[in-house]
Amino acid sequence: MTSLSFLNLIVFGASLSALSAALTWLLMKRVRIIDTPNERSSHTNPTPRSGGIAIVASFYIGLLGLWLLSENSVFEQAYFWAFCGAALVISAVSIVDDVAGLGFRTRLGVQIACAALVAAFGIVVEHISLPGIGIWHLGWVAYPLTVVWIVGLTNAFNFMDGIDGIAGTTAIVAAGFFGAILFLQGSSVLYLVSALIVWASLGFLLWNWQPAKIFMGDSGSQFLGFALATLAVMAGCFDESQMSLYVMPLLFFHYIWDTSYTLIRRWRAGERITEAHRSHLYQLMNRLGASHARVTSVYMAIGVLQGLGALVLVNLDGSQRVLVFLPFIALQVMLTRAVTQRARQAELIV
């Protein structure tokens, strides 16, 4: 595929996604699936939700096109269709959650079942490289570890979809860098799957940037988190690129940090961690006066830096790759201290 035809593909896909988002906006308004502001909301106006339907629809339409036009053997593999089916189930159940509301245990149970399904088809983290140890083959631990990784990133992406544009920009940056690295490493198809995520998110972002006309909802955020987490494992164990399993955690390190820190802080404060709240770091930045667009831009800039770090990471020996995380850990520590100090002074958190 030439660079011009690839660019045309992205433009067509983004246009398709934007059109799908417009149709979803009309549908959600007609059937009154509206997110009404409350004390936990970061918005002030009633806004249609479940816009992630547009992302999912655009992704699968693009995937159908790839299947029809490509002769790559990946489309003959059961593991690939297990991934496609499981991601679709995640989205379908999330649509029900957006409309009717499902309990935390139900959502978690579906996520675990879908992650276990793809693991059963061989999409597993078989080994990792550690400094001073080398390659550690995980054996049976590979299966529960894979489920924890997929379910963890699925929920992290969902938790971080709380202000205008943040989830869409993160998906574009992370999938964009991941796809570029896959291409440079010799991937023949999975980089195009990453491109599908980019185009689907790009078109939706036109409707979700501040002030958002439609929200992504669980139908989009959980689908994107699940798809990207599973794609990372597939690239490591099946793709020609033999992608390092450190790449996707680095691309999402700001999300993983924010989610993990917030869960631990709320647990230590005696709060129920399964209840909705507005105390993620990005939400505190917004409540302290930064606009949705500004906070999203900060997280997007960090995401780009992490993407550049991932480009460095793939050119290092396995045992050295974990060292690339150190500057980003330092960055997050400084950002966390600055935000939480101001938030405590403003009595936003304890």
Long-range contacts of 334-337 (CB under 8 A, 24+ apart): 335/281, 336/257, 336/261, 336/281
Token pair for residue 350? Answer: 């304890």
| Polymer length in residues for the chain | 350
Token pair for residue 78? Answer: 């059961």
Contact 167, 161 (CB under 8 A): yes
Q: Please give the model's pTM, rounded to 2 decimal places.
A: 0.92
Widest pairwise Cα distance in the chain? 60
Strand partners, 130: 134
**Integer-rounded Cα radius of gyration of the chain:** 19
pLDDT score of 10: 64
pLDDT score of 114: 98
Look at residue 135 and give its three-state secondary structure. Answer: strand
Give 10-residue mean pLDDT values along the chain (350 residues): 56 74 80 72 73 90 83 82 96 90 90 97 84 74 94 95 93 95 86 90 89 89 97 81 81 96 94 88 96 96 97 84 93 98 93
pLDDT score of 71: 74
| CA distance readout (Å), 262 to 221, 284, 336, 349 | 18, 11, 10, 11
**Burial class of residue 112, CB neighbours in 10 A (0-12, 13-18, 19+):** middle
pLDDT score of 241: 59
The answer to whether 218 is a known ligand-binding residue is yes
- Residues 22, 204: Cα–Cα separation, whole Å: 9
Contact 163, 287 (CB under 8 A): no
Tens-place pLDDT, residues 31-75: 777 777 666 666 667 788 788 898 999 899 888 888 887 777 778
The answer to whether 208 is a known ligand-binding residue is no
**Burial class of residue 341, CB neighbours in 10 A (0-12, 13-18, 19+):** exposed
- Residues 164, 339: Cα–Cα separation, whole Å: 19
